[in-house]
Amino acid sequence: MRIVAAGLLLTLALPAAAAERSRADVACAPIPDENLDYACTIRLTDPAGKPVEGADISVGADMPSMPMAHNVAPVKAKASAPGVYEARLALEMHGVWAVKLRLGPPHNDLIVRRLRFGPGKVDATSR
């Protein structure tokens, strides 16, 4: 009886929703001669690692260090290959931005990635 109860607890503890989440890799690069415009490529995969096609993704950005200071309008990402989406971000200054991917139905998710947008390069950052 005790063993059955422990098994049940373990099942309940597993985050079912998280296991279904798509994974997004985001890479951005400066667009030459376009000052604060960046080209971002999003690779969306399901939990099994398969490309997710036909996703509705809008890409926005704000600066965690400057809440409410910026208002970058979200743009729709366009598919360029199976599971690959492209979006152009027009930022307002260099620095660390939280890139926010809003996935529409059926995925319904918000994926946030922090990137440091500099002149000439973009780096991943944890802060």
Residues that bind Cu ion (CB under 5 A): 63, 66, 93
DSSP-derived secondary structure for 8-71: HHHHHHS-HHHHT--EEEEEEEEPTT-TTEEEEEEEEE-TTS-B--S--EEEEEE-TTSTTT--
Q: Which is nearer to Cu ion, 63 or 72 (CB)?
A: 63
Q: How far is the CB of 61 from Cu ion (least distance, A)?
A: 10
Q: Give Rg (Cα) of the chain.
A: 18
Q: Which is nearer to Cu ion, 67 or 120 (CB)?
A: 67
Q: How far is the CB of 73 from Cu ion (least distance, A)?
A: 16
Q: Which is nearer to Cu ion, 57 or 63 (CB)?
A: 63
